[in-house]
Structure 1
């Protein structure tokens, strides 16, 4: 065999070997042992097992258990179940829950990695997104039927998350409080094995919201205890259900051991008669539905945050509507009273006045209204209570309202009839001047626009701070206006004390009374408001019938020219209102 034949044979053998190797890759040996299937390969590709677990837990949470002791107690007390509340509060179909499966779950093992929920106690607070008359909000709602609202099922983590969401998304937050809203219980000690120093992690966010002008609206729809009470009282606006609401730092059993007050009911301790008349809670509603309606109403006046303008609506009430009844509403007899609420409702858009705090601080009237469809704040003194003299509670009420308006960029309309601060031992005992000075500092530290209508009296420090807190002053007076350092009644006695005493001593009481009448007539002639206008002490005296038109023109200018600039100042950080 020649050399060429040998080379050809070797080349053929090499080619066959390479072909064999390629075939081994293309057609693997079917006899080779297969890999063992992993447990994951037995699970459905569409994750329907996980989705099924979520659906099962959500179904348990959304279905009331009539055999549950807490649910039975809730219904026996005449209260709505938490999810019934959510349904009644929000626009239909707008509820989007956050943390829908948070809670305590007992799992049943099915072999391998498979399991299913066997028992589930949901978190005792329902939270999420929804809409109120089309406005998107976040909300929290306590479930008193589970551990009376005490901390459980990641409740604190959920609550803090919702508070942060309200800030990040700049959305109003509504809080329905029924229980302690995640406050502590002694049973927590046995579960954790230790006692803790009480934290308050969510209040930093609450204070931030309040000062950012993110509406915080709260309702007491059961016993609000401890932390629950604090959460609702901190809100910009709060309302209590008259039939089921109460609020206190600690319940009757704790009070009995601490102060020896026995036999107290929830309403005795902190019901509407207590807290809707002392300023702890702003408003009273007949029931839960009434609470929800008041929350919707208040929100309709407010922006989503302090960097936005309040919403405007279309109205049919003419801007130039003339109110002839206002010409005679102030009696010519100086000591006669009138209904100040009639002035408010006659001037503002028809049906738009919403009073806040009607049951406390009754020497003052405050609330929200609209002029030409735009939101305004209202402050008025109430001559039907203590002759309108501003007492400690009235000062606190107006102070709170001024801060409220300032953080929400809402201009203020004042109807001024103030004889001064309240006097006498009761006024001094209740620290009237302390709270009056606090009111003064608030008038001068807030920056929302203010327009004043002097309807009758303006006297003393109280009158001065209400009318002199902006430069230039924006105000008008009615023909019924009267003003000075103090009212004539008493003022003449002080200024002419010696003269009147001498006349009475020498000539008798009749001569003294005649001199007093002569002095009074002279002072009243000089106090003609036209004389003040002659000296430009009052900028303009208007016909009361045209008050609405004057106020509407001012409000329109404020919204079109001043408030947009104020918004930019807030965004830039140069205007920083504070509510808390």
Structure 2
């Protein structure tokens, strides 16, 4: 009897190993070769690149669909086209699911969706980030409405987990129709040039309905979503560099909304003087410069991760470390539109501020803004509503917030860029700052229009009145004298002042009024 039990156990173990090997290998021996021929990695190769070596634990590898008809009863591969599990990234727990394009083209069916639902629930329960590696052909047509219901379950969990755990979508292949909405609901979207596309309706449908002929890449490729639509936060040339940046981003995020990003001791002195800022930022408020150089000078080891680098380039959003602590940076970019705020810039910055606030990341705002971009197009497309999104995000944020006016800050854009009046904990300014309703020239033309037009020497009169206006209402200490600027600091002190201020605010506690939720200007 003892021998029989041993044999039975041995036979069961062998069968288990056989089934798991089949699940790992996939049903189509040519599938891997076809995937590589497209310049794409397999789902398991991607997971290996994302996770720390040897840490991945797969769940439901033996899951199969139960659909019948339309040829599916003869094809019941293990995993059902999605690999799910958890592992570690830089030693920290991360959940991941990866579509396996070798199986049904990665299309989502009932069992496939249920695996994702379970993983998303586990990630929420464990309080750990969720990464989706997307490479699928959308809903599995053979399974009908159950496939669509599967997407609904994913979307509902995306929303429920929003602001609770970081959700990162990595687009490594096609994503069409309903499949595109889960990435849109996540915190960050990565795309790879040439191989990943996202669209609600594909090129064939577009041509049939509108007569327009467009390629997959021109309709929904990585560069389109990185620079035009703003759907993609990060765009890469290959999967390896893409997944490496996913790992880097995860190192900058907390596990969940109840924790803070991990602190790493920095070899960059907290009191390091930033002397280079004197030369990086011209005194003339009309001359452009690259504010990313300012961000690099302030950040630990000059390292930062820019979000939406090619979309709405008139504002820069980046994650940096200051004395080893993760900090969000929002900065006007004088190289693009002179740093003026427009619809896209306001939306980009608002989304970033909201993300930082959700995950306990302090916010530093570097201000050099001439105002909101004027124009009929901007007004007709809702600059008021979109600009209010940024205002709402800042006013609603309870994390430590520090702003620095580098040069100019005019009009409503000054208010919106985290001024003291909308709740910045501390507001600083450099010695050459100009904070006013508008520039001196414009102000003089409005206030002294009659005096200028009636003068025998209009140009001389205008120049005199502009000078007087600057001296009275726009001198660098006007805001400080009225308590709207906490201190005027030397540019070389900027890093040290920011680090000291954020250290003081680290234990900040602020409660919002009791409510179900606000009603932002979506």
Q: Same fold (TM over 0.5)?
A: yes
- Deviations for 1:169-226, whole angstroms, at most 9, x for unmatched residues? 111111111124xx4233334xx9x9977861122221121132x1111111111222
Residue of structure 1 equivalent to 2:290: 339
Query: Among residues 19, 22, 44, which one is paired with 1:57 in the alignment?
Result: 19
Equivalent residue of 2:85, what SS? strand
Residue of structure 1 equivalent to 2:464: 518
1:84 aligns with 2:45: yes
Residue of structure 1 equivalent to 2:115: 158
User: Cα–Cα, structure 1 residues 551 and 143, in superposed 2: closer, same or farther, change >3 Å?
Assistant: same
> Displacement of 1:46 after TM fit?
5.6
- Deviations for 1:523-575, whole angstroms, at most 9, x for unmatched residues? 2223221344344443211111011111111122233x22xx56xx79xx999
Equivalent residue of 1:489, what SS? helix
Residue of structure 1 equivalent to 2:135: 178
> Displacement of 1:282 after TM fit?
0.8
User: Cα–Cα, structure 1 residues 239 and 472, in superposed 2: closer, same or farther, change >3 Å?
Assistant: closer
**In structure 2, what is the Cα distance between the partners aligned to 1:71 and 1:188?**
25
List aligned pairs for 1:35-434, cutoff 5 A.
47-63=9-25, 67-68=29-30, 70-103=31-64, 120-152=77-109, 154-180=111-137, 183-189=138-144, 200-212=152-164, 214-262=165-213, 264-277=214-227, 278-434=229-385
1:463 aligns with 2:414: yes
**In structure 2, what is the Cα distance between the partners aligned to 1:535 and 1:197?**
58
**In structure 2, what is the Cα distance between the partners aligned to 1:149 and 1:164?**
21
Residue of structure 1 equivalent to 2:70: none
**In structure 2, what is the Cα distance between the partners aligned to 1:351 and 1:76?**
39
Paired residues of 1:221 and 1:245 also in contact (CA < 8 A): yes
Paired residues of 1:407 and 1:577 also in contact (CA < 8 A): no
> Displacement of 1:152 after TM fit?
3.7
More deviation in 94-103 or 195-204? 195-204
Residue of structure 2 equivalent to 1:113: none
- Deviations for 1:507-527, whole angstroms, at most 9, x for unmatched residues? 4xxx21111111122222232
Paired residues of 2:327 and 2:364 also in contact (CA < 8 A): yes
Equivalent residue of 2:450, what SS? helix
Paired residues of 1:105 and 1:121 also in contact (CA < 8 A): no
User: Cα–Cα, structure 1 residues 535 and 307, in superposed 2: closer, same or farther, change >3 Å?
Assistant: closer
Equivalent residue of 1:344, what SS? helix
- Deviations for 1:118-173, whole angstroms, at most 9, x for unmatched residues? 98454111110111111111100011122222124710110000010011111111
Paired residues of 1:123 and 1:153 also in contact (CA < 8 A): no
Q: TM-score, normalised by structure 2?
A: 0.90
Structure 1: runs of 5 or more not aligned: 1-36, 107-116
Give the structure with higher Rg (CA). Answer: 1
